Structures are given as structure tokens and as C-alpha cells.
Chain A
Amino acid sequence: MPSAPVRVILPGMLRDLVGGVAEIEVESPGETQTVAELLDRAFSGHRILDGKVRDERGQIRRHVKVFVNGEDATRGEGVGAPVPAGARVHIINAVSGG
């Protein structure tokens, strides 16, 4: 039985890069996947987003936050954090800068 897809919600600042797409639905291969695996799948059709959210080592950029079901994954396990099937994942530009 297929698992519920994960919804990845993009911040407004990135939507212009992908033709106004606000949300990417990602099929879940099982009950859970990691944030890294989720982003690999989410960005496979929107390659420009990968360089914006992650550096070339695969790490989430310093001033970007990834929330999984309302919890800040970047505070804990980072790209290794589990993403359950059916989760809502928000990519957020942190409040920073000057």
C-alpha cells in the first residue's frame, strides 16, 4: 500500500526560480526517509533549488531552515533527520541579515 506523499512548501523567495511553484509533492518510498533523501527527490525536477538550499557537501545552508511537521530539523539531526510519510516540510529563509 503506497505511503502518503510528503508536501515540501517553498518560501516565496525561491518560487520565482521554478515558475511560481509553491509546493512540491514527493512520493514517500516507505514509512520514513531522511531530509537528505527527501530533498534529493524534491529537487530532481528543480535542480536550481538544490544549490540554494544546500551547499555542495549536501549541508543545509546556514541561514536556511527546514521544518518537518513544525519541528526545526536543522537544530537536531540535520539532513539525517527522519521525515515520516505524509509530513509537511517547510523550507524557510531564516530571519537574518542586515
Chain B
Amino acid sequence: MSSLKQNNNKPPVEDSDVSGTQEYITVMIANQLFGLPILEVQDVFMPETITSVPLSSFEIEGVLNLRGRIVTAINMRRRLGVSEDSENSEIMAVGIEYKSESYGLIIDDVGEVLNLNMKEFEANPVNLDPKWAQVSAGVFRMEKQLLVILDVKKVLDVLHLQAA
């Protein structure tokens, strides 16, 4: 976690021009690599006890206590509509603050921080599963694999819609 924090000291994204680079934290969900803009990520943690919330939407795993704050945990596998069986026994979560509330995206694993060239970025392919397209901001063509960028706003906003 501390190593992530340090990376925040690097020049912020705004300074890099459009053709420049941006930093992403990679996470693994159902064997697919995803990226989150580093500035949106507050921390990475291992959720201990998650309290389920009856009557809530399917994607909401529950609520948990993260250092005195109540965090709403969202199961990203469910959000993406993929199977929930994870080989990992320990789950990880990415902490995000959105509209001054704390959310935790539950993922399989956290990877590394990547500095990616915007030249390799492109919009979602048209045949992307609509459930994925809903939450994805676009894709990076990396050498060995593809990195799907998660749009935090969309991940949480659509939930708002369903809850409404």
C-alpha cells in the first residue's frame, strides 16, 4: 500500500499531454487484467468482515469497516456478470472515493502500477459484452495482453440507477 501512495508523488496526470502517458493500477478480475486510473484509487486493502445488506442490489457485496469509515463493497465479478468462483481464497479490494462516499471494488488480485502511453489506448471494441462495455472506458493494447480500463463513475453510477 505504501508503495502505491508514493507513486502519487509523481507528476499528476493533468501535466501529461494527450499523447503522453498515464498511470494505472492493474487489477485482476476473472483472469482479465483491468486498469484503474491511479488518481482515483485511495488505497488497496484486504476486506476482513463484510456485512451483507439485505434488499440491496445484487452487485453489492455489503458494507465493511475500513479504519473507521464505512465502505460499500461492490463485487466486481458480479458487476461484470462473470462466474463468482475465484481460485483465490483471499479477496482484495480497491478503495475509491466517489461523491464523498467510500466504495470498495472487490477484485481477485492487485497487480502493479503501469505508466502507459496514450497512443496505445483505444475505445471499446463494438462487440464487447454490454455488461463490460457499460463500465469500461477503453482498452490499452499492451504487448502481451489487453488492459481494460475501468471507469469508476460508470461502475458506481449504473448501480445508482438500478437501486433507484
Tell me, yes or no, whether A binds B: no
